[in-house]
Amino acid sequence: MEIVELIRHMSTYFIEQQMKISQKTVWSNSLKVVPKKTPHEMVQNNLFYRIEDCDSLLKRNEIDPFLKCIVTSDEKWGT
């Protein structure tokens, strides 16, 4: 658990390899050590880029309805 406390941004896979323990053990212990994530405030630039990207995808969908193809192209896919 000490390694998780020191470096909180390590992947569970990396910790598993370094400590030679199962990934499930790493995950369950990290839940005890790492505090719950709190929502962050979006920086104004990030918000602008997110809106711009969404707008671009919606405009692209008007020209070429790629979303319709993704959602409804193969109804038998799930069976």
What are the boundaries of each domain within the chain?
Answer: 2-33, 39-74
Amino acid sitting at position 60: R
The 10s digit of each residue's pLDDT in 35-73 is 666 566 777 878 888 899 989 988 888 888 776 666 555
By three-state DSSP, how is residue 39 classified? coil
Tokens of 79: 């069976």
Residue with tokens 């199962």: 22
Other beta carbons within 10 angstroms of residue 15's beta carbon come to: 20
What pTM was computed for the model?
0.35
Q: Are 52 and 66 in contact (CB under 8 A)?
A: no
